[in-house]
Structure 1
């Protein structure tokens, strides 16, 4: 993740009021991901990807 400005080929969406730029190359890998904060871990986690890695 980074805090750069969106690139020309990024897909830009607003999710829960936050602008998110998604690299078009990664879109197929992150389509079903959920970004969530887990209190029991004390950190943010990604869940939902069923592939062989990214």
Structure 2
């Protein structure tokens, strides 16, 4: 186990934490304007994107 592995682990944790924050942000969005603030942070093909699209549909009803 070396320095590089350690850095990769830390990176992975940071990405997970960031994704978690984005997920919470999406779940807490009260309207489309709020939801769209999360847009720049969403990678094209991620589970976050699916959540985003679903929430967008819910808010547009």
If the TM-score is normalised by the length of the shorter chain, which range does it land in?
A: under 0.3
Query: TM-score, structure 2 length as denominator?
Result: 0.20
Query: Higher relative CO (CA 8 A, sep ≥ 6), structure 1 or 2?
Result: 2
Relative to total residues, which structure has the larger helix share, 1 or 2? 2
More strand, by proportion: 1
Q: TM-score, normalised by structure 1?
A: 0.22
